[in-house]
Each structure stands twice: as C-alpha cells, then as structure tokens.
Amino acid sequence: MAKHLRIGGARGFWGDATAATPQLLAAGGLDFIVYDYLAEITMAILARARAKDAQSGFAADFVSAAMAPNLGEIARQGVRIVSNAGGVNPGACAAALRAEIAKQGLALRVAVVEGDDLLAGRAAVAQAAPRDMFRATTLPPVEKIASINAYLGAFPIALALDRGADIVITGRCVDSAVTLAAAIHHFGWASTDLDALAGGSLAGHILECGPQATGGNFTDWRAVADNLADIGYPIAEIHADGSFEVSKPAGSGGLVSRGTVGEQMLYEIGDPQAYLLPDVACDFSDVTLVETGPDRVLVQGARGLGVPESYKTCLTWHDGFRAGHIFTFYGLEAEAKAQHFAETVLARCRTALQRMQAPDYSDVSVELLGAESQFGAMRQTGPQREVAAKIAVRHPDARAVALFLKEATGMGLATPPGLSGFAGARPKPSPVMALFSYLTPKEQVQIRLLDEVGKLQCPAAKGPAVIAAPRPPLPVQPEAENITQVPLIELAWARSGDKGDIANIGVMARDPALMPWIWEGLTPAHLQRVYGLFLPDAEPAVSGAIERFYLPGSASMNILLHGALGGGGTSSLRNDPQAKGYGQLLLAVPIAVDADLLARLRGKE
C-alpha cells in the first residue's frame, strides 16, 4: 500500500466544464478521480426527467463527455473512478457506461450502489409523518411527492472497491462520500477511526466543488483573473491519519492557498462542530491550514465525534408553478419607471384573477437589479439610469402564472418610457419542486451493491454514539487607542452558499490577529442590518434566525441565516436563491480595527 492516496476532483456540479478529466489524467500519478454531480436542485430536475422517461434520471454527460473520450487512458493508467452521476437512476447510468466500455473493447468493471431511492415507500413515509428537520413543517400530500432520496455514506462504495470495481456509480450520497470511500478502501479505516473519517470527509468536501478550491469564486479574484481560462482542478494527497495536502496539476491556472482552501472549507457546512454525515459527525473548529509550498496547502486537525444513527433524506414535491421575466429600463428615472411597471403588471394580473374567482399569487418577487435592491439597509441611494426589473410569481395553477407572463409582455405599449431588453420566446410556467428534508433511521434503508460478482446487501455504518463538542472560547477584542474603519474585504476572505432555505456565509481572517475585530464587528445586530431584507422575522437577531460559529483553528467564523432564501433553490423566486452573492454583500461592510495592527500587517505583505 502506498503511504499516500492521491485523488483528483473532476466535477463540482451537473454542468461543470468537461476539461477536468483529461487535465487530471495528463497530470498523472493519481489513484482516483471523483465526480460530484448532485445538488438539491439537480435531484429535482432528475426526478422530473425520470417521470417523463423511465430510462432517464441520471447525468448522461458523465458517460458521454467525462468517460467515453477518456476510458482508454483511464484503463491504461489504472485510475479508478467514483461518481454519484447515477442521480435517481444509477442502474441506467451504469448500463449506458457498460455499453460504452464494451464498444471500446475495454475490460473495466462497473459497480452500482443503490438503495437511496425511497420513493416506492412513500406511503410508509406518509404514515410516519416526519417533520421538516429545518422548519418543522408537516409532510406534503403523498400524491404530490416526486422523489425521496436518503443521503448514503462511503462504506458501501468502499466495499465495491474492495471487490475489484474500477468504476463505482451511486445515486444520492453525501458529496464527500465519493472521496472518503476511496480513503476507506485504501487505508482500511473502520467506523471507529473517527478522526481519520472526519479528515477524509473534509478532503472530500474540499474536492466536491472542483475549482472552487483552486481560485474559482475566490474573494481575491484579481489574483487569479489572468489564468482562470485554464484553471486547475484540485488534487488531495491524503495521509493515513486523515490529514491531507491540496494542490493542482503543475502549470494549470488558478491558485491553491490558505484563502482558496479556507473559503471552500467553510462553504455550506452549517455548524462546524456538528457537520453530520452518514459515516461520522465532524468537528472542523480546530482545523489548521498551512501553505507548505507554491500551490500547496496542508489541512489537518479534523475530529470525529461519533457515527449518526440516521440518514438525512431529501424529498421533493410538486408545489405549484412559477415563472419570471427580466425587463430592462434605461434613461432618466429608470428605477421609478421599473418599479411602477412591476406594480402595474401585478395589479392588472390580480384584477384578472379576481374576475376568474381565483386566489392571489402565493408569492411575488420584484427586484430592481442595478438599483442595489439586494443591499437593503446598506444601499447607497441615488438616481439610477439603468436597471433590470426582475418580476416573478408563484401560484398553485399554471394558468395563473401564464396569465402573468402574458400580461407582463402585453404591457409593452402601456409602460413608462425606456422599456427595452433582449429576449427570445416568452417564458413558460415551470413546476415548482419544493424541498422537504427529514431524518430516516439507518435500519429502514436497504443498501445494495451490484457488480460483476453479484448482488450484495450492505450494512449501514455503525459506531460510537455522537457526542457534543465543547464550544471554544470566543475571541475577545483587545484594547486599542487608534481605531479605524475599513471594509471587511481588507481583513478577511468570505464565501457564501445554501442548505435548503438556510444561507451560509463563511468568513476567514487574512491574519489570525484580525479575527477578534472581525468577530466583534459582525454581531447579530450588524448582520441583521446587512441581511434583514432577506430574513422573514422582524428581529432575526433576537429570534435565532441568525447564528454565528467560531473556528479558532483557521481563525474564521461561519454565519447561518435561517429562512433567508425564499424557500431555497428548488422553489424560490429570488434572483439569488442559493446565496452565492451574500458573502459579497458582507465584504463591503465597514469593520472597526486597530489601525496600528493593520499597518503592521500590511507592512509584512
């Protein structure tokens, strides 16, 4: 057994660029290449596809674009592949891949891990009547359920590798499982090796979003702007204790640094001391990030707190219809004209709905992009001469949504002056696939492994019960005589994302000495001023809608905004339903800091 395990992350989402596989193969020296295709929105899309075609429901481009052109080189190098491209139909994905392998005359063995699909048991789920794990809402009507998928873990995938599979395809597993499985297989980790499992899971979390660990979506984007066209995809060199080093192919674009890796570590993790996965509950609060060379960062210090007894389960259901359109206005009073246009369109639609004795729209969104509509209380006022009015609606009946689209475009000759825009055909109502998340006890999920050897039932990972990690002491702002205020971006990096209807903003100090000032500046009250526009409660800082977590090991903090996304990516009408820009809003916030400390740190640069 090699001392280290080298894994390349070739896919961050369904739609990611196709250059990663040949790039990583050309770099050489890899044991595995892993692919993460699935997100909550992706599962909703695939469920709709399978409903139309029983042979669909998987990421077809995994076979056609990632595998087919590269299978010969994969076989020649002996690189093994793990992917969750199976979506809601992993068997069909494997069949398509086996056909391509046979067509090329290769002898690669393909295994399938299934059992995450619980749709057939929806009646039993309805009888159990679980509540949403984030919002405590009741289960939707059983006849509206489109998909139910448990988030499986890594041990069944590792078993497939133990049995000789060259390529393993799964349905819905946690994103990091494709990486952790390779490490379990390679190092022989057991379910009691909690710290190692936590470290391997963190390695998977760094790899799972592809180039987001190598300069993509990086706060200091100008540092990588000149070479993003050929950005390198991440490589994790994992050690037997679960620590690992992050790098990228030599000569590729992008950047691997404490900042790029740290931003990705904080991305969408929720409570960093209770990051719950099927195989291990992780504590990332003491993780350290050290640059060991150019484009190389050592990550260590993850802790395992036990093995959860349940699988997070994602249910999607039909919750009416939605549609929206963008109308641009430019010239004098563009903002006022756009706002009046939106209000007039909605008033006309509501009058028509009343005539039809139909209910009002269940949700409406009007955002004037270009007029700082996303900034809320942080907005800098002033006349805007160019705006885009994004208007969107939801309704249980598709006809009411179609009415809005017809009336909005039909107002073109009865609008304030300045309406313009480039568009093709008029949009159509699209079904809303809302998300409902709950926990399923592991004993209720039957995991199956199908490979050339046969069919095998896989037991769920069991181990020590999960314990709560003690919270670290919070940073205390030191005394200082000379105070100045600077935008947060001068003190920290930040990245934001989503988990259902929860927005997550990770903030990492550029220097650990700055962290007490950042923590003191980003109080719940200050965060409410920045994000109050998005939060449902009048006083979210008091109600608990805003949470802050401190990670002393990396000199960082994680912020959660509950109910901040209008229902989340699968159903929201927002311009940013996945909170991708929330970190950018925060980076503009002024923070009080010791001016002398800041000057000393700037002198070191």
pLDDT at 470 over 90: yes
DSSP class per residue in 471-486: PPPPP-PPP-SSEEEE
Give the pLDDT confidence score for residue 144 in this predicted structure: 93
pLDDT band at 469 (very low <50, low <70, confident <90, very high): very high
pLDDT band at 541 (very low <50, low <70, confident <90, very high): low
pLDDT band at 461 (very low <50, low <70, confident <90, very high): confident
Give the pLDDT confidence score for residue 404 in this predicted structure: 96
pTM across the whole model: 0.95
572 Cβ contact list (under 8 Å, min separation 6): 565, 566
Token reading at 478: 């030191």
Query: What does the alpha-carbon distance between residue 67 and residue 5 come to, in Å, rounded to a whole number?
Result: 22
Tell me the pLDDT tens digit for each residue of 267-293: 999 999 999 999 999 999 999 999 999
How large is the average pLDDT for residues 490-501?
95
Give the pLDDT confidence score for residue 263 in this predicted structure: 98
Amino acid at site 111:
A
pLDDT at 2 over 80: no
Tell me the pLDDT tens digit for each residue of 298-312: 999 999 999 999 999
HSE toward the beta carbon, residue 374, CA cutoff 13 A: 21
Portion of the chain with pLDDT greater than 90, in percent:
83
Token reading at 283: 């504590």
Q: Which of 266, 260, 263, 265 is nearest to 248 (CA)?
A: 260
Mean pLDDT of the chain: 94
Greater pLDDT, 1 or 2: 2
Query: What does the alpha-carbon distance between residue 65 and residue 73 come to, in Å, rounded to a whole number?
Result: 14
Number of CB atoms found within 10 A of residue 14's CB: 21
Tell me the pLDDT tens digit for each residue of 104-161: 999 999 999 999 999 999 999 999 999 999 888 999 999 999 899 999 999 999 999 9
HSE toward the beta carbon, residue 327, CA cutoff 13 A: 28
pLDDT at 8 over 90: yes
Give the pLDDT confidence score for residue 319 in this predicted structure: 94
pLDDT band at 537 (very low <50, low <70, confident <90, very high): low
C-alpha distances (whole Å) from 132 to each of 20, 129, 136, 505 are: 37, 10, 5, 23
CATH class, range 315-435: alpha beta
Range with lowest mean pLDDT among 12-16, 23-27, 299-303, 357-361: 12-16
DSSP class per residue in 229-240: GGBPPPEEEE-T
Token reading at 408: 């909005």
Token reading at 42: 């992706």
Give the pLDDT confidence score for residue 165 in this predicted structure: 98
DSSP letter at 64 equals I
How large is the average pLDDT for residues 347-373?
95
Give the pLDDT confidence score for residue 40 in this predicted structure: 81
Give the pLDDT confidence score for residue 543 in this predicted structure: 61
CA 305 to chain centre: 23
pLDDT at 395 over 80: yes
DSSP letter at 289 equals E
Portion of the chain with pLDDT greater than 70, in percent:
98
Tell me the pLDDT tens digit for each residue of 324-333: 999 999 999 9
Greater pLDDT, 95 or 384: 95
